[in-house]
Amino acid sequence: MKYSDRVYGQFNITEPVILELINCPAIQRLKKIDQAGYKPLWAKPETRVNGTEASRFAHSVGVFILLNKYQAPLEEQIAGLIHDVSHSAFSHCIDYVLDSGSEKEHTHQDRLFPSFVRKSGIPKILEKYGFALDYILDDGNFPLKEKELPDLCADRIDYSLREAVIYNELGEKDRNYLLDSLTVKDNYWVFSSFESGKKYAELFFQLNTIYFSGLPSAVMFRAVGDCLKYALKVGYLSENDLYTTDEKVLGKIRNKVDSDGKLSVLWDRMNGVIKAHNDPSDYESTVFCKSRIVDPLFLNGTKVQRLSETKPEWKKVVERESKPKQYFLKFER
């Protein structure tokens, strides 16, 4: 299978278990789940879900490709490919809808993951090829795929580079420079120099400030969360609907907008028709955004060092940006 990826370019996928997993319904559903949450209906096409750029599917295959390129064990490549199958429609917006979610940590998907996978067609595929499901579900077995912040992992590397490319924050030359500078040592991702590690860390900081935990994301999370929560409360949606696709959920809500004044307001909020501002002295609701920051490892000669060891001021950035960001929102209506 020839696959064209926006970050890594052309890639030939030949491993039978990977091909079967990619084509299973659980993975295919991710083509219609927006990576960042929700883009208003007027958003530019290149930033919205289209199956190849801004979707959970593209990210999931990207994590697999990255792990494959660095010769991670096949089990780890499988874990990377399936790691997002339990995402709901609109991704982390679910943390602003259900009581089991977490605004500060965005952990709903992770908590749901094992049970979601077990109910999907994935276990049969793994059994067919002789892989143990419990082993695949245990992140402790896969240090390249998953590590806690502020370390790097394949998941974190892929979503950051992918968002940077989609939003034109990273050109082809710099993207290739960062990818070429990556290496693996003792199951840690390591940059080949202080300069490349610093460049990636500053890019990640910029992405977090503008996109991951910026005001537009706060407004999006609050507005989409409120709309979905209301639709659930009045019965326009069931909780099962949330685990279909963005398009199906939107369709069910859209059908009720004209006949429900409150839903119409919430719909206009999530689509940017009604604006919001952030003001701690005058607000109607608060919202937290998970904040992310990295402190990369790099090679200083033959020694592996952390960026903050050479750049002490980065330690303060890591401490500050590791805390969830709180916003105080008031919508115009």
Q: Which residue has the tokens 């960001």?
A: 325
pLDDT tens for 147-204 read 999 999 999 999 999 999 999 999 999 999 999 999 999 999 999 999 999 999 999 9
Question: How much is the mean pLDDT over the chain?
Answer: 95
Q: What is the mean pLDDT of residues 201-209?
A: 98
Check the CA dihedral 130-134-136-140 and report its sign: negative
Confidence class for position 5, pLDDT limits 50, 70, 90: very high
Q: Report yes or no on 255 lying in a domain.
A: no
pTM over 0.75: yes
Q: Which amino acid is at 18?
A: I
Q: Report yes or no on 277 lying in a domain.
A: no
Query: Could you tell me the two tokens for 10?
Result: 């052309």
Can you give the CATH number for the domain in which 120 is found? 1.10.3210.10
Q: What is the pLDDT of residue 44?
A: 53
State the alpha helices, DSSP H only, in the chain: 16-22, 25-28, 56-69, 74-82, 108-119, 122-128, 133-137, 154-166, 172-181, 194-207, 215-233, 246-257, 261-270, 307-310, 313-321
Q: What is the pLDDT of residue 215?
A: 96
Q: Report yes or no on 333 lying in a domain.
A: no
SS3 276: strand
Cα distance between residue 35 and residue 33, in whole Å: 6
Q: Report yes or no on 331 lying in a domain.
A: no
Q: What is the mean pLDDT of residues 140-152?
A: 97
pLDDT tens for 40-76 read 754 555 555 544 468 999 999 999 999 999 999 999 9
Q: Report yes or no on 265 lying in a domain.
A: no
Domain that holds residue 54: 2-214+291-326
Q: Which of 210, 253, 215, 247 is nearest to 231 (CA)?
A: 253
Residue 146 backbone dihedrals phi, psi, to 5 degrees: -140, 130
Q: Report yes or no on 83 lying in a domain.
A: yes
Q: What is the pLDDT of residue 54?
A: 85
Cross-strand partners of 331: 276
Is pLDDT above 70 for 328? Answer: yes
Q: What is the pLDDT of residue 51?
A: 42
Q: What is the pLDDT of residue 52?
A: 45
Cα distance between residue 38 and residue 253, in whole Å: 14
Q: Report yes or no on 239 lying in a domain.
A: no
Looking at the 3D structure of the chain, how many domains does it have? Answer: 1
Q: Report yes or no on 309 lying in a domain.
A: yes
**End-to-end CA separation in angstroms for the chain:** 50
CB 145 within 8 A of CB 80: yes
